[in-house]
Amino acid sequence: MSDSVLRIAERAAELRSAFDRGFAAPLRIDAAVKLDLLAIRVGTEPCAMRLSEVAGLFADQKVVRVPGSHAALLGVAGFRGALVPVYSLGTLLGHSRTKASRWLVIAAAAPVALAFDVFEGHVRVPADAILPQQSQAQMRGCALEFIRTADLVRPVLHLPSVIDALGTTERRKSLQTQE
C-alpha cells in the first residue's frame, strides 16, 4: 500500500472510533436553567422579550390603517386567518412615533400585535442573568427586569404589562368620554 492510502485508512479508523465513542459516552445534561429571549430595538433603544410571552414573530406584514382613538394604533393585520390590531411598541413605551416598523410580534397573552423597529436575534441566557429592575419608571413600568449581555444591558419587556397598559389607556379614555 502506498503511504497516502495508509494515512487515509488510519484517519478513517480514527474517525470511526471517535464516532462510536460519542454514542458510548453518557449524555451530558446542562443543569443550568436557560431562558430564551428575543433581542430587539425599539427606536434606538435595545430591549428584550421573553420568547414564552410571544405567540409569533413576523416581518413585512401588511398593516391596514383603521380609524381609532389610541395614539399607538397603527391598524390591523391578518395573521393565520384572524385580524389582529397592531400597535406601535415605541409609542406605547413613550417614544415618539417614527417610520413604519418592519417587525411585528404577536403577544401570547392576547391577540395583539406590537410593531417594533429592529429584530436583532435570539438570545439564550441562564436564568440568573435576568435581574429585577430597580426603577419602575423605565419603559413606563413595562420592563420589570433587565439582562446584562456581553455587549450591553437590555430591559426585558413584560408583554402582559404592555397589554395591560394598553387596556388601561383605552379604559381611561372611554371613562373620560362618558363624563
pLDDT digit string (tens) for 49-67? 999 999 999 998 899 988 8
Rounded to an integer, what distance in angstroms lies between the CA atom of residue 89 and that of residue 109? 15
Q: How many CB atoms lie within 10 A of CB 89?
A: 28
Position 132 in a domain: yes
Per the structure, how many domains does the chain have? 1
Position 151 in a domain: yes
**C-alpha grid cell, residue 77:** 393585520
Position 10 in a domain: no
Which residues have C-beta within 8 Å of that of residue 62, sequence separation ≥ 6?
77, 78
Q: Which residue has the cell 444591558?
A: 153
Position 3 in a domain: no
91 pLDDT above the threshold of 60: yes
Position 92 in a domain: yes
The answer to whether 154 and 147 are in contact (CB under 8 A) is: yes
> How much is the mean pLDDT over the chain?
81
Position 18 in a domain: no
Rounded to an integer, what distance in angstroms lies between the CA atom of residue 85 and that of residue 79? 10
- Return the pLDDT at 76: 92
Domain that holds residue 50: 34-178
Position 113 in a domain: yes
- At 179, the pLDDT band (50, 70, 90 cuts) reads very low
- Return the pLDDT at 4: 83
Q: Give the CATH number of the domain where residue 107 resides.
A: 2.40.50.180
- Return the pLDDT at 175: 36
Position 112 in a domain: yes
81 pLDDT above the threshold of 90: no
Q: What is the pLDDT of residues 106-160, one digit of tens each?
A: 999 889 999 998 999 998 888 888 888 665 445 556 777 888 777 778 899 888 8
The closest of 131, 117, 112, 125 to 170, measured between CA atoms, is 112
Rounded to an integer, what distance in angstroms lies between the CA atom of residue 123 and that of residue 108? 19
